[in-house]
Structure 1
Amino acid sequence: MTKRKIDKARGERIRHVRSEILKIGSQEQFAKLLSQYGTPVTRGAVGNWETGKEVGIENLSRICKVAQVNLDWLAYNRGQPKGLAIASFDPDSPDDDPFEAGYTREHWQGSQEGAIPEIDGKLGAGQGQVGEVINLPVGKNAISGHAVKAEWILPIEYLRNEAKASPAKTIVMEVVGDSMSPTYQPGDRVLVDLSQDTMTSDTVYAISDGESEPQIKRLQRVPFSSPTEVIIISDNENLQDFTVELNRLQILGRICGVIARR
């Protein structure tokens, strides 16, 4: 009989999730919590995992979903515990990718109240960048998401009342290129509210055509057009505007604010 490998370091990470992140004192309570999200888990199983014995990827992903931690960190000690923010902006990914709810923006938790994640992806005021997309195995499938490269601490009242943004669904992205100058300069960071993914007014949005990297552009609806058309506007007066049908665009979110050096 082949002896199964013991991974004590992984066991310590599972113990850390239970006792330090979730603040659960007993293995039995942890087992009961995990059992609410799938097949029943016993206290004995949790005890085995915490000593480094084998644990399946399905149970690892369940722990990550409950504790809102990075699966790559828990399983393989790669990256940070709170490493993922949102589903990937990768234009080449299929529309039916099986994203897990535990990896969406609203489930990400920062180091303190008011923390907004800056993801490893850039909005093009010209040519955007998808950034590093991390692929993680979950059972027979895989999920992908962006690494969080920084946290920005912003007052909740400002986000809700002034920026008119959802604190739980807002991210920070860097601007590259000068097509939106002088309003948005290269190196500026913008607040993107992912919950505002439809065009409700003529303003600035993060957009994608489904084939290229995400862009930051001003959208203006064409009156009386059918099907509805929008003018895609670059604030840089040296660049030409163009018109497309609205249904050809993917609106990722509304630009709600800018963090800039002026």
Structure 2
Amino acid sequence: MELYLGPPRTFAQPESETLGDNDEEFVKVRRYDVKLSAGPGRSGDNSAPLSPVAFRTAWMTAAGLIADKCCVLGVQGDSMLPTLSDGDLVLVDERKTTLRDRSVYAFVDVTGDARIKRLERLDDQLLIRSDNPDHAIEIRKPAEANLIRLIGKVVWSGHSWR
């Protein structure tokens, strides 16, 4: 039992916040059990579907996003610090597979590893950059660069506070 020696307490009832009375207020985006490597690389074979993630329809529309053309994936590693942390979730627009220099992309590297990095074309090479200065820039020569498959551009991230 708690001992309290102050004036009488009153407790305000919090206003209830609903998630929407209809299905049109939120859209569900597919989520997969993929851990995009923010490091040297990790196999993308663990792509089992997980429960979808809900986003406000108005936000998605304003951002020009289409729910069934996006997916939510996890981040693993420290090479994208401070932008992305181990355990974060990212929303990937799968329509955005044309490289825009220095944007963050989810991609499948030549080794088959699912990764997340800043990508930049330099002449006929591809630079793979980490935000964490402790990680070196990687270079893919033309033959290798053409084998990289962009999953899509990262358009949102959710940080995990542990």
Q: Could you say which TM-score interval applies, normalised by the shorter chain?
A: 0.7 to 0.9
Which of 136, 144, 147 lines up with 2:48 in the alignment? 147
SS of 2:59's equivalent in the other structure is: helix
Equivalent residue, structure 1, for 2:13: none
Of Structure 1 and Structure 2, the greater strand share is in 2
Q: How far does residue 131 in structure 1 lie from its aligned partner after superposition?
A: 4.5
Query: Which runs of structure 2 are paired with 1:102-117 in the superposition (5 Å)?
Result: 112=23, 113-117=26-30
2:125 maps to 1:229? yes
Counterpart CA distance in 1 for 2:52 and 2:71 is 9
The letter for the 2-side match of 1:123 is L
| Superimposed CA distance per residue, residues 73-114 of structure 1 (whole angstroms, 9 cap, x where no aligned partner) | xxxxxxxxxxxxxxxxxxxxxxxxxxxxxxxxxxxxxxx541
Equivalent residue, structure 1, for 2:36: 123
Which of 77, 81, 84 lines up with 1:184 in the alignment? 84
Which of 59, 71, 88 lines up with 1:158 in the alignment? 59
Counterpart CA distance in 1 for 2:121 and 2:110 is 20
| Superimposed CA distance per residue, residues 31-79 of structure 1 (whole angstroms, 9 cap, x where no aligned partner) | xxxxxxxxxxxxxxxxxxxxxxxxxxxxxxxxxxxxxxxxxxxxxxxxx
Instruction: Say which one has the larger Rg.
Output: 1
Q: Which runs of 5+ in 1 are unaligned?
A: 1-111, 133-145
Structure 1 segments, 4+ long, off by >6 Å, are none
SS of 1:220's equivalent in the other structure is: strand
**Matched-pair identity in %:** 28
Which of 91, 94, 116 lines up with 1:194 in the alignment? 94
Q: Which runs of 5+ in 2 are unaligned?
A: 1-22
Judge conservation of contact 1:160–1:167 (CA < 8 Å) in 2: no
Judge conservation of contact 1:122–1:131 (CA < 8 Å) in 2: no
Q: How far does residue 242 in structure 1 lie from its aligned partner after superposition?
A: 2.1
The letter for the 2-side match of 1:150 is S
Equivalent residue, structure 1, for 2:103: 203
The letter for the 2-side match of 1:122 is K
Q: How far does residue 190 in structure 1 lie from its aligned partner after superposition?
A: 0.2
| Superimposed CA distance per residue, residues 126-148 of structure 1 (whole angstroms, 9 cap, x where no aligned partner) | 1334244xxxxxxxxxxxxx432
TM-score normalised over the length of structure 2: 0.73
Counterpart CA distance in 1 for 2:113 and 2:57 is 30
Counterpart CA distance in 2 for 1:129 and 1:212 is 6
Query: Which runs of structure 2 are paired with 1:23-38 in the superposition (5 Å)?
Result: none
Query: Which runs of structure 2 are paired with 1:208-219 in the superposition (5 Å)?
Result: 208-219=108-119
Counterpart CA distance in 2 for 1:243 and 1:198 is 18
Q: How many residues were matched structurally?
A: 133
CA RMSD across the alignment? 1.9
Judge conservation of contact 1:120–1:147 (CA < 8 Å) in 2: yes
Equivalent residue, structure 2, for 1:172: 72
Q: How far does residue 201 in structure 1 lie from its aligned partner after superposition?
A: 4.1
TM-score normalised over the length of structure 1: 0.47
Q: How far does residue 166 in structure 1 lie from its aligned partner after superposition?
A: 2.8
Equivalent residue, structure 2, for 1:80: none
The letter for the 1-side match of 2:157 is V
